[in-house]
Structure 1
Amino acid sequence: MTSRVLLVSPATSASSRQARFDDGGSIDDIGAARARAAAGSLPVAVRVLTSPVARCRETAAALGLDGVPAPRLAGLDMGRWRGRTLDEVGAAEPEAVGRWLTDPGCAPHGGESVRDLCKRVARWLADAQAVAGRTLAVVEPEVVRAATVKALDLPVAAFWRLDVPPLTVTELSGRSGRWNLRLGRPPAAPDADY
């Protein structure tokens, strides 16, 4: 049995435009318009999930999807850095930011480490492989990165080398504990062969 997982990154928000660690904010007007324009372009899925944060739920709704929030697909817990920009944190805690960006096991913000996020997403992917058919999930970019790290058996340090643009689709297909990766493309790509 082959399982397919489509990971859709959320539309833009004021936080994402400012490189702000998730502050629970909504998608912006431009992001909402782009998501509405892509509504109906994604393939039918046997289940639709979202990260529990507002911008993922709102992106799903704008895409015309009725997603169920899945706590295991939450973005990286940034602890006391939540809601602050990377520049603000870097100015206040330069050594901590340096450690965080170079050591995947480090969580100086009191939240979750990148390594722990990757483990959490890997466990979810293992469960997702048992689902026949297609799963579509609107998730934070770091969840897409963690899934990619797992799918390709990359070292966790590769997490920071993966860019996930807003409102793109990353597709995984897998069986027997192995995943293949089809990297992000716009949901309304004219040559999509879903």
Structure 2
Amino acid sequence: MTSRVILISPAMSVALREARFDDGCPLEDGGAARARSAAGLLPRAARELTGPGVRCRQTASALGLDAEKAPGLAGLDVGRWRGRTLAEVSAAEPEAVAGWLSDPAAAPHGGESVREFCGRIANWLTQAGSFTGRTVAVVEPDVVRAVTVRVLGAPEAAFWRIDVPPLHAVGFSGRAGRWNLTPGRPLDPPHDH
């Protein structure tokens, strides 16, 4: 039996635009409108999930998904950096940020290290291997990065080398612990010419 998972990154929010560590801010009006315009573009799914963050839940709703909140799909816990911009943290703690970006085991913010986070998401991916039918989940970009790292067997340092734009769908299919990646695509409605 092959499990199929589509991970969708949330639409644009102020925190995302400002490169601010998510603090629960809602989607921007334009981001919500773009998600609503993409409603109906996703294939039918046996299971619809959403990460617990506000922007994930709002994106799932705008896409017309009846998504169940999945706490195991929460984004990377950045501890005391939550709500601050990367520029602010870099100015105040340059060595800490440099260490965090170069060492997957570092967690100078008091939250999860990238290594711990990738391990947590790998546990969810193991569970997903037993799902029947298709799963669609709206998750933070860092969840997509962590799954991609695990699926490709890449080193955790590759986590920061994966760009996940807003409102993109990335597919994974697999069985018995072996997964394949379908590269991402934007969720945009077809344009009439």
Provide the TM-score with structure 2 as the length reference. Answer: 0.97
Where structure 1 has 5 or more consecutive residues not aligned to the other structure, the ranges are none
Question: In the alignment, which residue of structure 2 is the partner of 1:73?
Answer: 73
Cα distance in 1 for residues equivalent to 2:133 and 2:154: 26
Question: In the alignment, which residue of structure 1 is the partner of 2:161?
Answer: 161
Cα distance in 2 for residues equivalent to 1:28 and 1:185: 21
Cα distance in 1 for residues equivalent to 2:97 and 2:79: 13
Cα distance in 2 for residues equivalent to 1:183 and 1:144: 11
Q: For 1:85-100, what aligned pairs fall within 5 Å after superposition?
A: 85-100=85-100
Question: In the alignment, which residue of structure 1 is the partner of 2:6?
Answer: 6
**Quick check: 1:179 aligned with 2:175?**
no
Cα distance in 2 for residues equivalent to 1:134 and 1:117: 24
Identity of aligned residues (%): 66
Secondary structure, aligned partner of 1:25: coil
Question: In the alignment, which residue of structure 2 is the partner of 1:106?
Answer: 106
Question: In the alignment, which residue of structure 2 is the partner of 1:136?
Answer: 136
Cα distance in 1 for residues equivalent to 2:130 and 2:189: 28
Kept in 2, the 8 Å contact 1:42–1:188? The answer is: no
Q: Give the CA RMSD over aligned residues.
A: 0.8
Cα distance in 1 for residues equivalent to 2:151 and 2:188: 24
User: Cα distance, 1:189 vs. partner?
Assistant: 6.5
User: Cα distance, 1:188 vs. partner?
Assistant: 3.8
User: Cα distance, 1:187 vs. partner?
Assistant: 2.5
Cα distance in 1 for residues equivalent to 2:36 and 2:92: 39
Question: In the alignment, which residue of structure 1 is the partner of 2:84?
Answer: 84
Cα distance in 2 for residues equivalent to 1:184 and 1:31: 18
Question: In the alignment, which residue of structure 1 is the partner of 2:149?
Answer: 149
Cα distance in 2 for residues equivalent to 1:40 and 1:187: 10
Moved over 2 A (4+): 187-190
Cα distance in 1 for residues equivalent to 2:92 and 2:134: 44
Kept in 2, the 8 Å contact 1:167–1:186? The answer is: yes
Secondary structure, aligned partner of 2:21: coil
Secondary structure, aligned partner of 1:58: helix
What is the CA deviation profile of residues 39-83 of structure 1, one whole-angstrom value per residue up to 9, with x for unaligned ones?
000011111111101000000000000111111100000100000
Cα distance in 2 for residues equivalent to 1:75 and 1:22: 9
Secondary structure, aligned partner of 1:150: helix
Kept in 2, the 8 Å contact 1:49–1:138? The answer is: yes
Question: In the alignment, which residue of structure 2 is the partner of 1:44?
Answer: 44
Secondary structure, aligned partner of 2:111: coil
Secondary structure, aligned partner of 2:157: helix
Provide the TM-score with structure 1 as the length reference. Answer: 0.96
Aligned partner of 1:81: which letter?
A: W
Where structure 2 has 5 or more consecutive residues not aligned to the other structure, the ranges are none
